[in-house]
């Protein structure tokens, strides 16, 4: 299984937000810090904001920050929110054209492996992977 770059950026945005604490930040701050795509970051931020994981405020003193405590953001929930699907092989896709699907035993272990993957990520939260703001953004000097 491979997570998309969008999911990777979602995790990085949340880690950035956790390091900022209550401090508001802008999309540009994330884009510049990680050197990632602005358009993908905007898409990710929009999705995270709609989910409540991020809070957005418009205006001159606006920006972004975490929308819920780090301990309430399960890594599995982030993956489920961002990843488009978990179809690892042809027969798991809606447009399945595999001829052996009715007699194939491959889907069962792949479904079990995907569930184990999500179950493992479900045991961890943003709190578990957060980086202290002073370590992530050391004062110049």
In this predicted model, what pLDDT tens digit does every residue of 88-141 receive, in sequence order? 888 888 899 999 999 999 999 999 999 999 999 999 999 999 999 999 999 887
For residue 67, being part of any structural domain is answered with: yes
For residue 93, being part of any structural domain is answered with: no
State how far the Cα of 129 lies from the Cα of 53, in Å rounded to an integer: 15
CATH of the domain at 10: 1.10.10.10
For residue 92, being part of any structural domain is answered with: no
For residue 117, being part of any structural domain is answered with: no
Total domains, the chain: 1
- pLDDT of amino acid 11: 98
Range of the domain at 13: 5-85+125-136
Q: Which of 104, 91, 48 is nearest to 73 (CA)?
A: 48
Q: Convert the pLDDT of each residue in 22-46 to its tens digit.
A: 999 999 999 999 999 999 999 999 9
Supply φ then ψ for residue 128, to 5 degrees: -70, -25
- pLDDT of amino acid 84: 85
Helix axes 5-20, 75-82, angle to 10 degrees: 140
Q: Is the pLDDT of residue 2 over 90?
A: no
Work out the pLDDT band at 70, boundaries 50, 70, 90. very high
For residue 96, being part of any structural domain is answered with: no
The pair of three-digit structure tokens given for residue 56, joined into one six-digit string = 């957005």
State how far the Cα of 113 lies from the Cα of 67, in Å rounded to an integer: 31
Burial of 54 (0-12, 13-18, 19+ CB in 10 A): buried
For residue 71, being part of any structural domain is answered with: yes
For residue 120, being part of any structural domain is answered with: no
For residue 58, being part of any structural domain is answered with: yes
pTM over 0.75: yes
């Amino acid at each position: 299984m491979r997570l998309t770059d969008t999911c990777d950026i979602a995790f990085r945005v949340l880690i950035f937000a956790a390091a900022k604490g209550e401090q508001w930040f802008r999309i540009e701050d994330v884009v510049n810090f990680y050197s990632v795509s602005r358009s993908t970051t905007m898409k990710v931020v929009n999705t995270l904001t709609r989910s409540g994981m991020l809070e957005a405020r418009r205006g001159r003193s606006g920006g972004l920050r975490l929308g819920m405590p780090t301990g309430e953001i399960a890594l599995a929930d982030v993956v489920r929110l961002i990843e488009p699907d978990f179809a690892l092989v042809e027969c798991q896709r809606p447009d399945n054209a595999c001829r052996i699907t009715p007699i194939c035993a491959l889907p069962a272990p792949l479904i079990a492996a995907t569930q184990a993957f999500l179950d493992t990520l479900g045991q961890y939260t943003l709190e578990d992977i957060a980086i202290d703001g002073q370590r992530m953004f050391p004062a110049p000097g």
